[in-house]
Amino acid sequence: MNRAEEDYMKVIYELTVQAKQPIVKTNELSVHFGYTDQSVNEMIKKLESKKLVSFIPYHGVSLTKKGQIEAVRMLRAHRLWEVFLTEKLGFAWEDVHVDAERLEHNSTEMLLNRLDDFLEHPKFCQHGNPIPNRDGYISSFSTLSLAEIDEGEQFQITRVVDDKELLVFLNENQLQLNEIIDVVKLDMFNGLMHIKKRQQTIILSFKTAHMIFGQRMP
Ligand SMILES: [Zn+2]
């Protein structure tokens, strides 16, 4: 697989298996990548010929067993490098993506296993995303987004999308993993959510809330 193919595999995995969806529509992939439908369709055909994805016309794409194994291998590499860059080289969580992206495409299995040993087998990256172990096993993680939480409920952040602008927003508001917040008001008309962290009120859009995952507090 070349780099573009590997990136597709990873994104299809995130939008299906990781999001607990059976299938992803090809136009969702076009939106995600910002490519034309035609170039996405060409890539899907190529991946299908390599038996990495199965494609049902007018429905969408899912990964085959072989495809899942490949995608998990890429995610493992990406997230292990993220842990290395943040923990060992002092990168901020919003700055690791580009380098992790390059390193993941150039790591042999032996290098990754050594890296995993060196880091003492981390289960999650700094964004709270699970790191598959060498057998492909993934620890459980939250798929409940903040956007699904009602007024008056409490929520603990355990995972965020690795998106630079989101991470900068979280930094500015000192929102970190494991933080517990109160949802104080839903402004449906404007698409805004008012949350409270200790005494501080923070206003965010539902779009942002959809990128933050965690658990309802009892
Ligand atoms: Zn990450």
Segment 147-178, tens digit of pLDDT: 999 999 999 999 999 889 999 999 999 999 99
Confirm if 44 and 55 have CB atoms less than 8 A apart: yes
Q: What is the pLDDT of residue 68?
A: 93
- Whether 110 has a pLDDT exceeding 80, the answer reads yes
**Centroid of ligand 1 to alpha carbon of 125 (angstroms):** 5
> Using 50, 70 and 90 to split pLDDT, how confident is the model at 126?
very high
Long-range (24+ apart) CB contacts under 8 A made by 83-92 are 83/119, 83/122, 83/125, 83/126, 83/131, 84/115, 84/118, 84/119, 86/126, 87/119, 88/119, 92/171
Q: What is the pLDDT of residue 33?
A: 87
The β-bridge partners of 193 are 186, 204
What percent of the chain has a predicted confidence (pLDDT) above 90?
77
Centre of ligand 1 to C-alpha 100, Å, is: 9
Query: For residue 30, how far is its CA from the centre of ligand 1 (angstroms)?
Result: 23
What's the pTM value of the predicted model, to 2 decimals?
A: 0.85
| Cα-to-centroid distance, 162 and ligand 1 (Å) | 6
Distance CA 216, CA 195 (A): 14
The model's confidence at residue 134, banded by pLDDT at 50, 70 and 90, is confident
Q: Is the pLDDT of residue 139 over 90?
A: no
63-80: per-residue pLDDT in tens?
A: 999 999 999 999 999 999
**Domain annotation for the chain: domains and CATH numbers:** 3-63 (1.10.10.10), 146-216 (2.30.30.90)
104 vs 91: CA distance, rounded Å? 17
pLDDT at 18 over 90: no
Residue 186 pLDDT > 90, yes or no? yes
For residue 74 the two structure tokens come to: 């890429």
Cα–ligand 1 centroid distance for 31 (angstroms):
21
Distance between CA atoms of residues 45 and 39, nearest Å: 10
> With bands split at pLDDT 50, 70 and 90, how would you rate the model's confidence at 94?
very high
Per-residue pLDDT at 23:
94
Q: Which of 115, 215, 126 is nearest to 162 (CA)?
A: 126
| Beta-carbon count within 10 A of 37 CB | 12
Please state, as a whole number, how many other Cβ atoms lie within 10 Å of the Cβ of residue 78. Answer: 23
* String of DSSP letters for 17-73: TTTT-S-B-HHHHHHHHT--HHHHHHHHHHHHHTTSEEEETTTEEEE-HHHHHHHHH
**Residue 1 confidence (pLDDT) above 80:** no
- C-alpha 126 – ligand 1 centre gap (Å): 5
Residue 201 Cα to ligand 1 midpoint, Å, equals 27
